[in-house]
């Protein structure tokens, strides 16, 4: 794809708690546009993830296996430092609805303020994933619902284990 000696790399940051078919769809589509898509899983997040970092990485890796040019890694601290480390200035973000845009626009603006080289590229989610969010998947699973239509089988199994009988085991078994 790239005509220069340096590959075109884009960073797709997030908590991925859990990774969904919506995330996977964005990664697949971005992999067609870039030499490398780095799925960067945040180790520090105010979101209180249900899965520990290592499990989020393992689930993302399993979900994204087979997509050429995709790499999963963790990061901590500021996203701009990760971009510098990965020698890129491109961030991928997905948009489901106009409500996503406000928050994403704010993040893109502040990142660009901190480093004028940064570009945030937005991809609209595919129609079948516009309603899908990790928090919705977690809630359905917590209430004993079947999430297999929304996530990779390994993620569905992990959620089922995590929410045995509708009980959140994140603090009692880890």
| Close Cβ partners of 170 (under 8 Å, ≥ 6 residues apart) | 50, 51, 162
- Dist CA 42 CA 15 (whole Å): 5
Burial class of residue 96 in the structure, from the number of CB atoms within 10 Å of its CB (0-12 exposed, 13-18 middle, 19+ buried): middle
Residue 40's pLDDT is what?
98
Q: Of 2, 47, 71, 103, which residue is the catalytic one? A: 47
Burial class of residue 43 in the structure, from the number of CB atoms within 10 Å of its CB (0-12 exposed, 13-18 middle, 19+ buried): middle
Residue 45's pLDDT is what?
85
pTM above 0.95, yes or no: no
pLDDT digits 0-9 by tens, 117-130:
999 999 999 999 88
Q: Of 96, 112, 142, 160, which residue is the catalytic one? A: 96
Binding annotation for ATP: 15-16, 23, 94-96, 104, 129-135
Residue 130's pLDDT is what?
87
Query: What is the arithmetic mean of pLDDT over 65-90?
Result: 96
Residue 2's pLDDT is what?
47
Residue 169's pLDDT is what?
58
The gap from C-alpha 38 to its chain's centroid, in whole angstroms, comes to 10
Q: Which residue has the higher pLDDT, 36 or 170?
A: 36
Three-state secondary-structure class, residue 141 = helix
pLDDT digits 0-9 by tens, 1-56:
445 556 699 999 999 999 999 999 999 999 999 999 999 999 988 888 999 999 99
Q: Of 23, 56, 138, 162, which residue is the catalytic one? A: 23
- Dist CA 102 CA 68 (whole Å): 32
134 belongs to the catalytic site: yes
pLDDT digits 0-9 by tens, 128-167:
988 889 999 999 999 999 999 999 999 999 999 999 855 5
Binding annotation: 15-16, 23, 47, 79, 93-96, 104, 129-135
Residue 174's pLDDT is what?
42
- Dist CA 34 CA 18 (whole Å): 24
């Amino acid at each position: 794809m790239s005509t220069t000696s340096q590959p075109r790399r884009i960073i797709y940051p997030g908590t991925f708690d859990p990774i969904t078919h919506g995330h996977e769809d964005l990664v697949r589509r971005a992999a067609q546009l870039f030499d490398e898509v780095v799925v960067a899983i945040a180790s520090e997040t105010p979101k209180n993830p249900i899965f520990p970092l290592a499990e989020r990485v393992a689930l993302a890796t399993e979900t994204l296996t087979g997509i050429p040019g995709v790499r999963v890694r963790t990061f901590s601290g500021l996203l701009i430092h990760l971009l510098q480390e990965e020698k890129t200035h491109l961030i991928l973000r997905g948009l489901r609805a106009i409500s996503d845009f406000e928050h994403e626009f704010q993040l893109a603006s502040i990142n660009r303020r901190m480093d004028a080289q940064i570009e945030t590229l937005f991809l609209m989610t595919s129609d079948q994933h516009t309603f899908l969010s990790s928090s919705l998947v977690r809630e359905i699973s917590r209430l004993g619902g079947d999430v297999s239509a929304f996530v990779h089988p390994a993620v569905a199994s992990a959620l089922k284990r995590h929410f045995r009988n509708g009980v959140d085991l994140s603090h009692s078994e880890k």
